[in-house]
A and B are shown apart, each in its own frame.
Chain A
Amino acid sequence: MTTMLEIKNLHAAVDGKEILKGIDLTVKAGEVHAIMGPNGSGKSTLAYVLAGRAGYEVTEGSVSYDGKDLLEMSADERARDGVFLGFQYPVELPGVNGMTFLRTAANAVRKHRGLKELDGIDFLKLLRQKASLLEMDDGLLKRAVNVGFSGGEKKRNEIAQMAVLDPHLMVLDETDSGLDIDALKVVSKGINALRGPDKATVLVTHYQRLLSYVEPDFVHILARGKIVASGGKELALELERDGYVNYVPEAA
């Protein structure tokens, strides 16, 4: 299998404060990696650094994506090139129609891939097809992006966007937070439907719960800006039982 993402000795700072202190991680196509860790361990920072958010300064190390230097690419270039970040807190865009937003985004990605841009009708077809795959209706997309959505609706909307944009590397930041069990099942189903041999997923999560539905190939524990342990899915079960105490003493 080809290597999709290779992170080497990654250090990153926010407002001059170092949060990531030397991360090494290799993700191959077809794999699902879970990054777990207590609050404040740097999980979301890692997700933002991968997506290229302004203000998250890489001070050392390298990240290659599909053989390219990811850190050289701007946030929007990364997105068009197939890096998708599912937000922990999806942002509201008042007055911006969900359909308009997603079609503009989808066409930006398609243009980058040398595909024909979709007109309104073709886009609607694609949307219906993806929505049925996820067993979701497209009602949310008719409203302004995330405005007045419940926590569950926001996360479902993220997965719907992901399905339409068809990314290669999916970084999902606490997609399970704030979901009831039914919403969790719907969202997990969506994530599983989008797994594939040429795609890779990085799940950032606090709890083992999501991993009962989306089975990871690898689990990594992030603590104080470093990966302190890696293993299979049994590692997640161990965390569920014992907490982070064996890895982060003060978490006890």
Chain B
Amino acid sequence: MAATTETQQALKDIGGDYKHGFVTDIEMDVAPKGLDEAVIRMISAKKLEPEWLLDWRLEAFRKWGKEEEPEWAKVHYPAIDFQDIHYYAAPKKKDGPKSLDEVDPELLETYAKLGIPLREQEVLAGVMGSPNIAVDAVFDSVSVATTYKKKLEEMGIIFGSFSEAVKTHPELIRKYLGSVVPVSDNFYATLNSAVFTDGTFVYVPKGVRCPMELSTYFRINTKETGQFERTLIIADEGSYVSYLEGCTAPMRDENQLHAAVVELIALDNAEIKYSTVQNWYPGDKNGKGGIYNFVTKRGACRGVNSKISWTQVETGSAITWKYPSCILQGDNSQGEFYSVAITNNMQQADTGTKMIHIGKNTRSRIISKGISAGRGQNTYRGLVRVMAGAENARNYTQCDSLLMGDKCGAHTVPYIEVKNPSAQIEHEATTSKISEDQLFYCLQRGLTQEEAVAMIVNGFCKEVMQNLPMEFAVEAQKLLGISLEGSVG
């Protein structure tokens, strides 16, 4: 397919460097460094939040003070000074943009450079090859633009920035915020609960099948800023939605923290498909700089026959700590986790999933593909838990690791806890190297070394990649090639 050729072209175009490493020079409204109650009050005030939400944040902040940073993951990094981070940064503006015409042209330019079409006519002109994507763009701490809002509104679908939804649909936020990832869930989720700035909110009403891919594009721009976004997606009874997020950040020598929380709720017969293409700046070859991606993502299949499917392609970040999970509460509900994680150079990833089977006849499927190159360390960590009441639960897990070179590492840490004897659990795992035979075979047919590696790796990841929405699959295939550039030979 053309994707491999395009990977090569992309490689040439960017000369192997991180493509999204530029900085947008724009006037920013930045909170002073450090975190205390005053900063939280400031964030809440900036967003004109109701009293209850401020109280929620403050409670989280007090709990955070008592929690400890998790140390069980197989990742190593110097201690983070949480007082040396800006917790709020927003492009300066008079009022919120009412339409795209009011969005700062500098920002539109930034997203155009990233290949994210914010102007609907650009989307229609086929910038991404398909008009069926609505985009919400989050720049540092705030959402700057949402496309196709009107069209979605006509169907009753709410899609937009989190802070706006707090104003327009407080009842939904109040009901569901923190209901899947409680305030005190873990150190980073608690921190996020205290300081989250913006993110995306989606509500799909009963019986509605969302006709387009919903997409959020996250961009960290300001120096020494943490990005703490909060995403909440609710699929009401019998509805369906497919959502995709993409992420980039400038190249900087210092590390930047990204601690997001994503909560998904699927009610009776509803389905949510959540895809991520994570390409935060991974740091340089020697491990200097890069994003610390410490993210809590969890979905609750609350209703009967509901389904949540996570697909992630993790190519960026210096450190990835992330376990998109499913709580399979409703009878006959299904959870899926498809993951490709690449660690090249000095990157470290500790990622996997948790599948918690509570309801009867619940099913889960885990397909994890880890690729380690350079000195990268890649860990799959997963939990399959079958509770006593979960009659006839089933799980299938497959963890494959691919090693490139002899200085990288692949680790698999699966936990299985079964409290109901009717459960059927399968676990398969393989570890392999790209063989000399495979490479030579490709070279002998005329492929270059880079094309050959991209071809073999894309083949290895195929079961995951085919779960991505079409519009993003090509992009993701390119990313795999770019991320592994220079890792063989």
Please measure, in the bound complex, the distance between the C-alpha atom of A108 and the C-alpha atom of B449, giving whole angstroms. 12
User: A94–B459 contact, CB under 8 A?
Assistant: yes
Is there contact, CB below 8 Å, between A51 and B444? yes
Contact call B1/A97, Cβ cutoff below 8 A: yes
Interchain residue pairs with CB less than 8 A apart (27): A51-B444, A53-B444, A54-B436, A55-B436, A75-B443, A76-B444, A76-B448, A79-B444, A80-B446, A85-B444, A90-B441, A91-B437, A91-B438, A91-B441, A92-B438, A94-B460, A95-B459, A95-B462, A95-B463, A96-B458, A100-B1, A100-B4, A104-B455, A108-B445, A108-B446, A108-B448, A117-B5
CB-defined interface of B77-98 with A at 8 Å, one 1/0 digit per residue? 0000000000000000000000
List chain B residues, Cβ under 8 A from A201: none
Residues on B with C-beta less than 8 A from A165 are 445-446
Q: Would you call B447 an interface residue if the criterion is a C-beta within 8 Å of the partner chain's C-beta atoms?
A: yes
Cβ-defined partner of B440 (8 Å) among A54, A97, A107: A54
List residues of A (17-45) whose CB comes within 8 Å of B's CBs: none
Q: Given A80-B446, A108-B447, A108-B451, decide whether A93 and B456 contact each other with a Cβ distance below 8 A.
A: yes
In whole Å, how far is A96's beta carbon from the nearest beta carbon of chain B? 4
- Encoded as 1 (CB less than 8 Å from any B CB) or 0, chain A from 87 to 113 comes to 100111111110011111101110010
Q: How far is the CA of A99 from the CA of B9 in the complex (A)?
A: 20
Contacts of B300 in A (CB 8 A): none
Cβ–Cβ < 8 Å partners of B448 in chain A: 76, 108
- Tell me the smallest distance from the CB of B484 to a CB of chain A, in Å: 15
The A/B interface has a contact count, at CB < 8 Å, of: 86
A105–B456 Cα distance when bound, in Å, is 13
Q: Are A96 and B455 in contact (CB under 8 A)?
A: yes
Complex interface: chain A residues within 8 A of B462 (CB) = 95-96
Residues of A within 8 A of B447 (CB): 76, 104-105, 108
Cβ of B461 < 8 Å from any Cβ of A? Answer: yes
Are A104 and B4 in contact, with the CB atoms below 8 A? yes
Interface residues in A, total, Cβ within 8 A? 36
Collect the chain A residues with CB atoms within 8 Å of residue B459's CB: 93-96, 144
Chain A residues, Cβ within 8 Å of B441: 87, 90-91, 93
* A105, B445: Cβ atoms closer than 8 Å: yes
Q: Does A161 contact B (CB under 8 A)?
A: yes
A52, A76, A91: the one within 8 Å of B449 (CB): A76
Do the beta carbons of A104 and B443 come within 8 Å of each other? Answer: no
Q: Mark A191-230, 1 if CB is under 8 A from B, else 0.
A: 0000000000000000000000000000000000000000
Contact residues of B: prevailing secondary structure: helix
Task: For the complex formed, measure the closest distance between the CB of A219 and the CB atoms of chain B, giving whole angstroms.
Answer: 25
Interface residues of B (CB under 8 A from A): 1, 4-5, 435-438, 440-449, 451-452, 455-456, 458-463
B271 to chain A, nearest CB (A): 26
Tell me the nearest residue of chain A to B455, going by C-beta. A96
Residues of B contacting A75 with CB < 8 Å? 440, 443-444
Report the bound CA distance from A103 to B440 in whole Å. 17
Assembly CA distance A97 to B437 (angstroms): 18
Q: Which residue, of A53, A91, A103, has the highest number of chain B Cβ atoms within 10 A? A: A91
| Complex CA–CA separation, A84 to B456 (angstroms) | 20
**For chain A residues 108-129, which have a beta carbon within 8 Å of chain B?**
108-109, 112, 117, 120
Shortest C-beta distance, B452 to chain A (Å), equals 8
Known: A93-B456, A96-B462, A117-B5. 19 other contacts (CB 8 A): A51-B440, A51-B444, A52-B443, A54-B440, A75-B440, A76-B449, A76-B452, A85-B444, A90-B441, A91-B437, A91-B441, A92-B438, A93-B455, A100-B1, A104-B1, A107-B5, A108-B445, A120-B1, A165-B446
In the bound complex, do residue A79 and residue B445 qualify as a contact, i.e. CB atoms below 8 Å apart?
yes
Establish whether residues B446 and A112, one from each chain, have CB atoms under 8 Å apart when the complex forms.
yes
Residue numbers in A under 8 Å from B435 (CB-CB) = 91
Q: In whole angstroms, what is the CA distance A92 to B452 when docked?
A: 13
Query: What is the CA–CA distance of A101 and B438 in the complex, to the nearest angstrom?
Result: 12
Closest to A147 in B: B459
Q: Are B460 and A95 in contact (CB under 8 A)?
A: yes
Q: Taking CB as reference atom, which chain B residue is nearest A112?
A: B446
B444 and A101 contacting across the interface, CB-CB below 8 Å: no
A46 to chain B, nearest CB (A): 15
Most buried by B among A51, A53, A92, A104: A104
Nearest CB of chain A from residue B304's CB, rounded to whole Å? 35
Which residues of chain A come closer than 8 Å to B440, judged between CB atoms? 51, 53-54, 75, 91
Q: Please, which residue of chain A has its CB at the minimum distance from the CB of B489?
A: A54
B452: chain A residues within 8 A (beta carbon):
76
